[in-house]
Amino acid sequence: MQDLLTRFLFPMCPHLSLSPPPPATLWLLLPVCLSVGPPPLSEMKEKNPWHSPVAIIITVIGVIVIVALVIVAVLQNRPLAQKYKYGIVLDAGSSHTALYIYEWPAEKDNNTGRVEQKHSCKVIGPGISSYASAPQKAGESLKACMKEAEQWVPVKRHPETPLYLGATAGMRLLNIENSAASDKVFEAVGEALQKSPFSYQGARILSGQEEGAFGWVTVNYLDDRLSQGLETTGALDLGGASTQISFVSDQYDGSESPSNAVNFRLYGNDYELYTHSFLCYGKDQAQRLKLAHQTQSGPNAVEDPCQHPGYNTTKKYSVLYDSPCVSNRKPQGAPATFLHTGTGNVKQCQDVVKNIFNFTDCKYSQCSFNGVYQPSLQGPFGAFSAYYFVTSFLNLTDTSVPLEDVRKKLERYCATSWSQIVQEHPGVKEKYLAEYCFSGTYILTLLTEGYNFTSESYSNINFIKKIKGSDAGWTLGYMLNLTNMIPAEAPDSPPLPHAGYVSIVSICAVVIFILLLFSLRPLWARHCKKQQIV
């Protein structure tokens, strides 16, 4: 192109210069050449209008304008050093507490910025409800993770970073059992958190409904389903003490069993969410329910099909019955301990597990279990927490594998001797190892018999731990709600991205400049004529 200009265009405008300018300058001279046009033949040799002050001024201004536009465009699109804001949520679960730090672009906290998990910290020790007899220790247990959080959040953001603590089923149970003890635990925890440099916003027990609904918000927010108005994903959360199911079903408008309804208006869309939390049906409490049932028939020993053959341990009744989920079932005159042995039989384990569910009473059109209404399942589901821990250990996260094959795999696993299991998994805590056969069976029973997943709909479940780097769980949804980070209405977005806007403005400016030169043509012609006359 440059060559073309030098060879054809430049000779047509010889008045621009005595010799062809360097190629780069040719582009800048082009508009001048076009606007000025060839001078009269007589003038060609005598005068060089390129030396005329008007042409020089116009060209210089034009060059300055174009250079300025390019500089503005480059500066505007230069990547800026991003500033972030932070939020911290402590998930005080029944089995343990975890701290999550979230961050989002500082200039976009008015609803449009993406919130992401920056860091998480697992508190050492049990959940805060386990400190009922020594509440001070509950506060102390959080200190290490709070110190870690101070390192992860920039110091100048500390005072403005909100800090929340939400407690779930462990504290719900403690509150039922001994509300004074639960208050003391919160007091101690509050005292410890107030000492942190963050903006402490309080500690409270989440209702089961909130826990389910915020888990659903988290999963759908991280999947960008809410902002884009896509079909939503249901959420399945299996904790230690409670389990939640939340999903949107066309069949459910909240009229049947209104206590299961949660309404949201997010990004301009209305959602009528079905959610239910089953207290005592988290994996640890479900294990207690099952053992409590088993000990009814013979209080001295339990032959458990959900434990591996060769498993043999003595357990205390006082520990087993230390929970409001089972405390009313303690057999009269029970000994202090019982012998817990394993037989490793999945089919029998399934039968024992089924005993903890009530499938008969239902006053609604349809129920899951224990007389709880549940509409027909709809759409994909994300299953996290213990659903993931257990299925990932058992290599059962692939739900495209037929349910029958999953059952066979579990059957083989449960039938494996305890000594072989321990030998094959030297790095895994024995407490966890002893539970996977029961947990796997419980999960399959809960999903298929409890929630009514079929062989077909089972493949709609995705066992997940994280979505795009953030843990699936209720904490992110809780923080998004408390900081009003999800708008009820969709935010207005500019029709063009920033770079497109700058490019269009630059092109328009160049076109205006060329048109200006064209409009100066008659003026220039008159000027040339005058010079000729003179």
Ligand X SMILES: Nc1nc2c(ncn2[C@@H]2O[C@H](COP(=O)(O)OP(=O)(O)OP(=O)(O)O)[C@@H](O)[C@H]2O)c(=O)[nH]1
Residue list for the binding site for ATP? 240-244
Of 218, 85, 107, the residue nearest 154 (C-alpha)? 85
In the complex, the smallest distance separating the C-beta of residue 473 from ligand X, rounded to whole angstroms, is 7
Q: Which is it for strands 242-248 and 269-279: parallel, antiparallel or unpaired? A: antiparallel
User: Which CB atom, from 457 or from 470, has the smaller least distance to ligand X?
Assistant: 470
CA distances for 56 relative to 51, 61, 519, angstroms = 7, 9, 16
111 Ramachandran zone, left/alpha/beta (phi>0; psi -120 to 50): left
Neighbours of 17 (CB within 10 A): 15
Sheet of strand 116-122: strand arrangement: 116-122, 97-105, 84-92, 162-167, 199-205
CB 155 within 8 A of CB 196: no
The conformational region for residue 163 under phi > 0 = left, psi -120 to 50 = alpha, else beta, is: beta
Does 126 engage in binding with Ca ion (CB under 5 A)? no
Contact flag: residue 166 with ligand X (CB under 6 A)? no
Q: Which residue is nearest to Ca ion (CB)?
A: 239
Site string (411-450) toward ligand X, x via CB under 6 A: ---------------------x------------------
Task: Identify whether 211 is a catalytic site residue.
Answer: yes
Which helix (H) or strand (E) covers residue 397, if one does?
none
240 binds, among ligand X, Ca ion, none (CB under 5 to 8 A by kind): ligand X
Which entry of ligand X, Ca ion, none binds 62, CB below 5 to 8 A by partner kind?
none
Which of the listed partners (ligand X, Ca ion, none) does 241 bind, with a CB threshold of 5 to 8 Å by partner kind?
A: ligand X
User: Closest Cα partner for 451 from 245, 234, 283?
Assistant: 245
Name the catalytic one among 46, 107, 150, 211.
Answer: 211
Asked whether position 241 contacts ligand X by CB under 6 A, the answer is: yes
168 near ligand X, rule: CB under 6 A: yes
Question: Is 93 near Ca ion (CB under 5 A)?
Answer: yes
> Considering the rule CB under 6 A, would residue 131 count as an interface residue with ligand X?
no
Determine the angle formed by the axes of helices 498-519 and 521-533, rounding to 10 degrees. 30
Could you tell me which stretch among 235-243, 291-299, 318-326, 515-523 binds Ca ion (CB under 5 A)? 235-243
- Find the binder of ligand X among 39, 49, 87, 127 (CB under 6 A): 127
Known binding-site residues equal 240-244
The least distance separating ligand X from the CB of residue 290, rounded to whole angstroms, comes to 14
Beta-bridge partner residues of 247: 274
Return the structure tokens found at 367.
């129920």
Q: Of these, 93, 139, 162, 382, which contacts ligand X (CB under 6 A)?
A: 93
Which positions are annotated as active-site residues?
A: 211
Query: Which residues form the interface with ligand X (CB under 6 A)?
Result: 93-96, 127, 168-170, 239-242, 282-284, 385-386, 389, 393, 432
Query: Which residues form the interface with Ca ion (CB under 5 A)?
Result: 93, 239
